[in-house]
Amino acid sequence: MTATTAASSKGRRGGARRHRSAGPLFVAPFMALFLLLFLAPLGYAAYLSLFQERLIGGTAFVGLDNYVRALGDPQLIHGVVRVALFFVIQVPLMLLLALLFALALDSGLLRFARVIRLGIFVPYAVPSVVAALMWGYLYGPDFGPFAQLSHDLHLPAPDFLSDSWMLGSLSNIVTWEFVGYNMIILYAALRTVPEELYEAAAVDGAGAWRIAWSIKLPALRPALMLTLLFSVIGSFQLFNEPKLLMSIAPDVISSSYTANLYAYTLAFTGQQVNYAATVSFLLGLVIVIVSYAVLLTANRRRTS
């Protein structure tokens, strides 16, 4: 082996080593932030959930006592059931609207499609706090536009903030906020479908409805699954909207109206940090179970 060949081989080995070490170096900043901002607080919360602050004796280790208490806590159970009902009501409607808007925009039959797409997406850019305050004004039984219109027509004002209407009112706010976000995900998935499939279907005599049913909807299954998982997480973490509407409907929305709101109240109002950490962990477990059930159901339908 000549000196030139040996130097070249040594240079290639050195370059390969540098390439192998480049990957971990690029990932290191993310991993550091992930450990610092996610895993470390999560671990600390798990540590707190194993203790209890007592009037006599101070903070004491109680093991799983907080979890046993939480599993029998009627306020937590009612909050979880309420957000589960919210999920059943709101998510199908939101995803159906997002799907219809995405299919309409992808059809190419709409005039000013870009303006329409932007108009549907804009509510997602509005902070949820602003959206809740705005809809709270619209829902107002004394000062909102619906109440004023009912007064002008000499009709009873609809009480959107009553106990029987509240869950639907919250669903409307969240749907208004997130239809555009889910529409963009579905629309982006539709744009990846090759045009040759549409052309071949048209040559075979398939119409617009047949193409949508046989080509577009099957292509959207992964994107629909993604939006459904996001919706599971978002629904069970419902917080901003009920928290803000609580000030104008305190008799309907209590401090335990949702599980997330209950954990917040325990930590920052009741100063029960240890029990709040326990409630948060159980809520996370519920989200994991529901998400896994959704994935398992989808996989079974795909393989059947």
DSSP characters over 228-254: HHHHHHHHHT--HHHHHHTTT-TTTS-
What's residue 73's pLDDT? 92
What's residue 4's pLDDT? 53
What's residue 228's pLDDT? 92
d(CA 164, CA 167): 7
The whole-model pTM stands at 0.84
d(CA 24, CA 284): 30
* pLDDT tens, residue order, the chain (304 aa): 555 554 455 555 555 566 666 778 888 888 888 888 888 888 888 898 888 887 776 778 888 899 999 999 999 999 999 999 999 999 999 999 999 999 999 887 788 888 999 999 999 999 989 999 999 989 888 777 888 888 888 888 888 888 889 999 999 999 999 999 999 999 999 988 888 888 788 887 777 788 888 888 888 888 999 999 999 999 999 999 999 999 888 899 999 999 999 999 999 888 889 999 999 989 989 898 988 888 888 777 766 6
What's residue 109's pLDDT? 78
Closest by CA position to 261, among listed 226, 293, 237: 237
Q: 167 with 235: CB under 8 angstroms?
A: no
What's residue 261's pLDDT? 93
What's residue 159's pLDDT? 86
d(CA 190, CA 223): 9
User: What distance, in Å, lies between the first and last C-alpha atoms of the chain?
Assistant: 61
Show Cβ contacts of residue 85 under 8 Å, excluding neighbours closer than 6 positions: 167
d(CA 61, CA 43): 16
